[in-house]
A and B are shown apart, each in its own frame.
Chain A
Amino acid sequence: KAGVTQTPRYLIKTRGQQVTLSCSPISGHRSVSWYQQTPGQGLQFLFEYFSETQRNKGNFPGRFSGRQFSNSRSEMNVSTLELGDSALYLCASSLVASESNEQFFGPGTRLTVL
């Protein structure tokens, strides 16, 4: 069974631009979560989607948004990029959206904002 895939793997943008990252969960998994990983803040939760609905949201500004499609694939969008948005963005999928289900992570998208 294929794992979680994320595209693109690497991205370079400039301040003020916007970016869209994509995540394909493991087949059959309906819950997708997004995390931001930086050296200073570590791993921080962005949001969680289940059945095309945002179920939970972390403490990030409205420039960060996401969505989930009917095939469970998810995208996250960051508008008006800032230097501090440079990070590894990780997507994780789980079978159902409950706390009992372990999350499986993709390799991440490395975003660099210049």
Chain B
Amino acid sequence: GEDVEQSLFLSVREGDSSVINCTYTDSSSTYLYWYKQEPGAGLQLLTYIFSNMDMKQDQRLTVLLNKKDKHLSLRIADTQTGDSAIYFCAARVRGGGADGLTFGKGTHLIIQP
């Protein structure tokens, strides 16, 4: 089945750009998502990208997809203290019987003042 990997922690200075990386194993993954989870809260969908796209930009967020390397990244420009959270990458595989979303373990984004 699908396996999604992320680094556990990322520390950046306030105002810098944050780049959170994710790799997945199943080349038939059709939709890739980024979710944000703040302490004590559920998951908030940030953005998603279809597998036939290379890039998607939404305000401060830029998603890059390298299908050949099965690598997904989320860039947050001008990182603010409110961006401090856990960021989850998730993949959904094409076809019926897909086991919902497969999530990475999450990357804790730590903002330094």
Residues of A within 8 A of B (CB): 4, 6, 33, 35, 42-43, 45, 48, 56-59, 90, 92, 99-100, 102-108
Q: Which residue of B lies closest to A9 (CB)?
A: B40
Q: Which residue of A lies closest to B40 (CB)?
A: A107
Report B-chain residues with C-beta under 8 Å of the C-beta of A102: 31, 33, 45, 48
Residues of B within 8 A of A (CB): 30-31, 33, 35, 41-45, 48, 50, 88, 90, 92-95, 97-106
Interface of A is mostly: strand
The CA of A107 and the CA of B83, in the complex, are separated in Å by 18
User: In the complex, are the beta carbons of B104 and A99 less than 8 A apart?
Assistant: no
User: In the complex, are the beta carbons of B43 and A99 less than 8 A apart?
Assistant: no
User: In the complex, are the beta carbons of A107 and B99 less than 8 A apart?
Assistant: no
Given known contacts A100-B31, A105-B42, A105-B43, A56 and B98 CB-to-CB distance under 8 angstroms = yes
The CA of A58 and the CA of B41, in the complex, are separated in Å by 23
Can you sample 28 A-B contacts with CB below 8 Å?
Answer: A42-B103, A43-B43, A43-B88, A43-B103, A45-B100, A45-B101, A45-B102, A56-B97, A56-B98, A56-B99, A56-B100, A57-B99, A58-B100, A59-B99, A90-B43, A92-B43, A99-B30, A99-B31, A99-B94, A100-B30, A100-B31, A102-B31, A102-B45, A103-B45, A105-B35, A105-B43, A107-B41, A107-B42
B81 to chain A, nearest CB (A): 22
Report B-chain residues with C-beta under 8 Å of the C-beta of A42: 103-106
Report A-chain residues with C-beta under 8 Å of the C-beta of B97: 56
B109 to chain A, nearest CB (A): 16
User: In the complex, are the beta carbons of B100 and A33 less than 8 A apart?
Assistant: yes
Q: Which of B31, B42, B48, B105 contacts A90 (CB 8 A)?
A: B42
User: In the complex, are the beta carbons of B31 and A106 less than 8 A apart?
Assistant: no
